[in-house]
Chain A
Amino acid sequence: MSGILGIYAFDELWSVSRFLYYGLMGLQHRGQEYSSITTWRDGEIYTKASEGLVEERFTESSIGKLKGYVGCGCVSTSRGLGRPITVSKSEVTLTLYASGGLIDTKFHELAEFLADEVRRSDIEQAGLTVLEKFRGGYSFICITSDGRMIAARDPLGVKPLCVGGLGFDLAVLASESSALDVIGADLSRDIEPGEVFAIEKFDIRRGAANCKRRAYCSFEYVYYARPDSIINGIHVYDVRRRIGLILSEMDPVEADVVIGVPETAIPFAMAYSQATGIPVEIGFYRTGRSMRTAIRPTEIERLIGVQLKLNPIRAAVRGKRVVLIDDSVVRGTTLRNTVYLLRKRGAKDVHVRIGSPAIRARCPYGTAVPPEDELIGRALTPEEIAEVIGADSFSYLPVNKLIEAIGLPGDSLCLGCFTGMYPDIEVV
């Protein structure tokens, strides 16, 4: 998982590194393991890549050293995408950041191919040739050695990418609109699936690749994206509220309190509560900084994350029948831990509701899903899961209800992790 950001200042007076720094903080939820920024000024490239959070790894001095009015950067969970991919083909050097995954190849290949194309054709045509050749679910932003910026979104539109501007001065491209909000830029629109958006000194060039179908990642709405982002024209917060509403209509239970697992599931719980009249409570308090536990790379890190993040508030749960809402279940280990903590602090009943369908299959588009034999939703029925995690009841959001909650046609979504069926891959 990654978040990418590109900023192009039309007036050379600007220095964009601090805008990139704060913009990436607005994308940090998409990957907390690696952070990187690259800037460009008059043919010179300045780069810093580091393990860890943007906020921790970039100091005043490193921001000052990243000079220039053109720049891009990323946050990522993966070492491979957490650093800039730099390639040189004769006189063209490209620095590229990507989010997502390619089928049967690597982003380094894509970058080399793009550099070759940039050398021989118009910039938007170069981008289009790349989109037509490389299959997968991805978006990328790169800077050429002559200071042009090329951004593109795969023809399926799996990974989000949007564009906006700050007055007459900056154009901003980002995985999510939250990055634009943080730096005060106004969202113009989503980059369309198969669109190339290239900024040159005196022009913005666009290209549209041939798109057979769309396959927007549905998991963005369930988990990845920030609730204040707008993706594919849909407010993420609205989707999360609708999910809570739908959950409240399914498998009704008698309960005293609704609790959302922080932080993603809180809008689910609030909508659930408003629909049922069961009061919502802050059930947990966090120790340490905000953490996205589900995308931590190792089991032990995820468990540490959950234990630190989820200290149950006794007064909110003791003696109560609890509806516990979480966004998704992968292996079930962290959820088991959570239910156990609630019981230990005196919860009487614990009914678990999940704001997404069972995860049954891998993601070919760059999301690290564990091997299929580690997915609890593939191995066990809801009743069995309830036993394993120690809950009184357990249920998922069905796939058709997720589609309804997102509000886009089902055939324009990628639901591969829930169904094992992918938009452009034959299932063996």
Chain B
Amino acid sequence: MKVLLVGDGSREHAIAEALARSVKEPRIYALMHLINPGIARVCERSGGGYRRGSPIDPIQVADYAEELSVDFVFIGPEEPLFHGVADEVERRGIGCIGAHKAVAEIEMSKAYMRRLMWKYEIPGRLRFKSFRSIEDAVAYISEYAESLAIKPARQAGGKGVKVIADMQAYLSREKREVKTKHAERVVKEHMKDYTDIEDKILLEEKVEGPEYTLQCFSDGETVLSMPLVQDNKHAYEDDLGPETGGMGSICGKGLTLPFITMEEYSRSVEIVKRMVEAVQKETGELYRGVVAGQMMLTDKWGPTIIEMYSRFGQPEGENVLPLIETDMVEICEAILERKLSRIKLEFREKASVVKCIAPLGYPERRDLARGHPIAADEEAIARRGGKLFWSSTDMVDGVLITGGSRACEIYAEADSIEEASEIAERCIPYVKLLDGWRLFHRSDIGAPRSLEKRRMLADLVREIYQYRERRGILGRTIDWIPGRGKIEL
């Protein structure tokens, strides 16, 4: 059996390992943009191979799959989905784990996703406005002093999102200035390379609460949910610093996190299922692959959608993939045959922690973070109970160098998140840059103080949304305007 994996990040490294664990012993091939040594190794050991290429080019991917005559293709990242790689692969008669372009729109266009939620009245929706021109967005921002999330209307590699709480009237002027300048930056920088979408900017009401990611498999009929994972977006410890693609994540033990109830878990699953149903109805296409809700427990709704993913999260995927007990190839085959309902998706009863290691410069100046030779003592890491996933790295003339984003991740599992975090910490020193440039990571991820803080935030938010639910105003925004009377937004 042969499988072609598309993508080169830590997520794909974890997918490759999960596939390699299958009793069907598939030969794994990979198409990568940068050469990830972890994926390369899995491919070689499985009797497969890899090739450098463009994972977002449907023709290249489909040609490679045909050439190898693989049994199916597994697409890791979102961009190939947005570029129609899954559509092309299937057009050639090869099975593909990965959403078609039309349904991946729930991730690609944040405006589309919100419209869908309102049209189908799916719980956990937020008020939003999308703009096609910077002038309209700025005019809106100047008129209303509101707490806002300003986002590129398209998924732009997780970049360009700014969330500004505008609660103090006395600081509103500074905030309005930053909102305006940021909106301009979104259009000029983050959206400049994308021509596949008409909306440019999305303004969303700002909500607060603990975030979590719910990842699921979907075959178009059945949605099977995985354990919740929480990512940590701040670059530095104590939840300080700029937003990153995620500096590490925690999971377990069991289906939910220590600060999310099982009822909230069930509601979250229901929301993701309804999203899948809605996008299928809207497009007439089946959703086959991985779908995830990047969610937040808010005082407005309880479980609330912040964004949708049409794939595993990164690093969130790396928390759950090593814990999957069910045969990964069987899961993939069931998705392709629309028999996912027959699969009993099982996970080992462990908590897991992923800690990302990034070169200094990330996330703001990737040019500074790029090009540093890096090495890891993977045996020492294994001896201390951890595991390394390679991420943004490249092999150039036999030397492994950093790619500018998070270079690698340490994965550890234990009976509790706190213990797993400690194991990961013991492994961190075994990753080094060889040219004296510095690496950084967050030691607080999964630490008791950090968990306690999230638990307190969740309790606070839960009190409020439960009050709203008792009052029958869950998810509603009711206001009274002098002269106009009571209105609902």
B316 CB within 8 Å of chain A? no
Q: Which of A169, A188, A189, A206 has the most CB of B within 10 A?
A: A169
CA distance A144 to B240 in the complex (A): 21
Pairwise interchain contact B167-A184, C-beta atoms closer than 8 A? yes
A406 CB within 8 Å of chain B? no
- Per the 8 Å Cβ criterion, residues 149-175 of A in contact with B are 163, 165-169, 171
- Residues from chain A with Cβ under 8 Å of B182 in the complex: 11, 13
- Residues from chain B with Cβ under 8 Å of A278 in the complex: none
- Residues from chain A with Cβ under 8 Å of B163 in the complex: 167-168
CA distance A186 to B238 in the complex (A): 11
Pairwise interchain contact A171-B168, C-beta atoms closer than 8 A? no
B360 CB within 8 Å of chain A? yes
Q: Which of A13, A15, A165, A183 contacts B168 (CB 8 A)?
A: A183
A204 CB within 8 Å of chain B? yes
- Residues from chain A with Cβ under 8 Å of B334 in the complex: none
Pairwise interchain contact A15-B234, C-beta atoms closer than 8 A? no
CA distance A171 to B185 in the complex (A): 22
- Per the 8 Å Cβ criterion, residues 153-179 of B in contact with A are 162-165, 167-168, 170-171, 173-174, 177-178
Q: Which of B162, B173, B185, B365 has the most CB of A within 10 A?
A: B162
- Contact A171 to B438, CB < 8 A, known contacts A18-B171, A184-B167, A202-B364: no
- Contact A13 to B181, CB < 8 A, known contacts A184-B168, A202-B365, A202-B368: yes
A19 CB within 8 Å of chain B? yes
Q: Which of B167, B360, B449 contacts A203 (CB 8 A)?
A: B360
CA distance A355 to B168 in the complex (A): 35
CA distance A345 to B168 in the complex (A): 42
Contact mask for chain B residues 359-395; partner A; CB cutoff 8 A; 1 contact, 0 none: 0111011001000000000000000000000000000
Kindly provide the distance from the CB of B455 to the nearest chain A CB, expressed in whole angstroms.
15
Kindly provide the distance from the CB of A173 to the nearest chain B CB, expressed in whole angstroms.
10
**Using a Cβ–Cβ cut-off of 8 Å, how many residues does chain B contribute to the interface with A?**
35
Secondary structure of the A side of the interface?
mixed
Chain A, Cβ-Cβ closest to B164: A167
- Residues from chain A with Cβ under 8 Å of B171 in the complex: 18-19, 22, 183-184
- Per the 8 Å Cβ criterion, residues 90-114 of B in contact with A are none
CA distance A126 to B199 in the complex (A): 50
A113 CB within 8 Å of chain B? no
A10 CB within 8 Å of chain B? yes
- Residues from chain A with Cβ under 8 Å of B185 in the complex: 13
Chain B, Cβ-Cβ closest to A168: B243
A14 CB within 8 Å of chain B? yes
B189 CB within 8 Å of chain A? no
Chain B, Cβ-Cβ closest to A165: B240
Pairwise interchain contact B174-A15, C-beta atoms closer than 8 A? yes
**Using a Cβ–Cβ cut-off of 8 Å, how many residues does chain A contribute to the interface with B?**
25
- Residues from chain B with Cβ under 8 Å of A14 in the complex: 174, 178
- Contact A19 to B243, CB < 8 A, known contacts A168-B233, A183-B168, A203-B236: no
B241 CB within 8 Å of chain A? yes
Q: Which of B181, B234, B238, B362 contacts A168 (CB 8 A)?
A: B234
Kindly provide the distance from the CB of B303 to the nearest chain A CB, expressed in whole angstroms.
22
Kindly provide the distance from the CB of B286 to the nearest chain A CB, expressed in whole angstroms.
37
- Contact A204 to B237, CB < 8 A, known contacts A183-B168, A184-B165: yes
Pairwise interchain contact A163-B240, C-beta atoms closer than 8 A? yes
Chain A, Cβ-Cβ closest to B443: A206
Chain B, Cβ-Cβ closest to A16: B174
Pairwise interchain contact B241-A171, C-beta atoms closer than 8 A? yes
Kindly provide the distance from the CB of A419 to the nearest chain B CB, expressed in whole angstroms.
33
- Per the 8 Å Cβ criterion, residues 400-430 of B in contact with A are none
- Residues from chain B with Cβ under 8 Å of A182 in the complex: 168
Chain B, Cβ-Cβ closest to A122: B438
B239 CB within 8 Å of chain A? yes
Secondary structure of the B side of the interface?
mixed
Kindly provide the distance from the CB of A152 to the nearest chain B CB, expressed in whole angstroms.
16
Pairwise interchain contact A10-B241, C-beta atoms closer than 8 A? yes
CA distance A171 to B240 in the complex (A): 6
CA distance A182 to B181 in the complex (A): 24
Q: Which of A15, A18, A165, A202 contacts B239 (CB 8 A)?
A: A165
Pairwise interchain contact B165-A166, C-beta atoms closer than 8 A? yes
Pairwise interchain contact B238-A163, C-beta atoms closer than 8 A? yes
- Residues from chain A with Cβ under 8 Å of B365 in the complex: 202
B440 CB within 8 Å of chain A? yes
Contact mask for chain A residues 252-286; partner B; CB cutoff 8 A; 1 contact, 0 none: 00000000000000000000000000000000000
Pairwise interchain contact B168-A22, C-beta atoms closer than 8 A? yes
- Residues from chain B with Cβ under 8 Å of A202 in the complex: 360-362, 364-365, 368
- Contact A188 to B238, CB < 8 A, known contacts A22-B170, A168-B162, A203-B438: yes
Pairwise interchain contact B242-A18, C-beta atoms closer than 8 A? no
CA distance A182 to B368 in the complex (A): 36
Kindly provide the distance from the CB of A191 to the nearest chain B CB, expressed in whole angstroms.
10
- Residues from chain B with Cβ under 8 Å of A169 in the complex: 162, 164, 178, 242
Kindly provide the distance from the CB of A121 to the nearest chain B CB, expressed in whole angstroms.
14
- Contact A165 to B238, CB < 8 A, known contacts A10-B364, A15-B177, A202-B361: yes
Chain A, Cβ-Cβ closest to B167: A184
- Residues from chain A with Cβ under 8 Å of B177 in the complex: 13, 15
CA distance A19 to B175 in the complex (A): 11
CA distance A169 to B162 in the complex (A): 9
Chain A, Cβ-Cβ closest to B244: A168
CA distance A168 to B243 in the complex (A): 6
- Contact A13 to B167, CB < 8 A, known contacts A202-B365, A203-B440: no
CA distance A188 to B365 in the complex (A): 26
Pairwise interchain contact B170-A168, C-beta atoms closer than 8 A? no
Kindly provide the distance from the CB of B425 to the nearest chain A CB, expressed in whole angstroms.
15
CA distance A203 to B43 in the complex (A): 36
Q: Which of A166, A168, A188, A206 has the most CB of B within 10 A?
A: A168
Pairwise interchain contact A10-B238, C-beta atoms closer than 8 A? no
Q: Which of B167, B238, B243, B362 contacts A189 (CB 8 A)?
A: B238
Kindly provide the distance from the CB of A18 to the nearest chain B CB, expressed in whole angstroms.
5
Q: List 23 A-B contacts (CB under 8 A).
A: A10-B242, A13-B177, A13-B181, A15-B174, A18-B170, A18-B174, A19-B174, A165-B239, A167-B163, A167-B164, A167-B165, A168-B162, A168-B163, A168-B243, A169-B242, A183-B168, A184-B168, A184-B171, A188-B239, A189-B449, A202-B361, A202-B362, A202-B368
Please give the residue numbers on chain B whose beta carbons come within 8 Å of chain A beta carbons, in ascending order: 162-165, 167-168, 170-171, 173-174, 177-178, 181-182, 185, 233-243, 360-362, 364-365, 368, 438, 440, 449
What are the 7 tightest A-B residue pairs by CB atom distance, in nearest-first order?
A188-B238, A168-B243, A204-B236, A165-B240, A10-B242, A202-B360, A13-B181
Known contacts A165-B234, A202-B360; 7 further A-B pairs (Cβ under 8 A): A18-B174, A22-B170, A163-B238, A165-B238, A169-B178, A188-B239, A204-B237
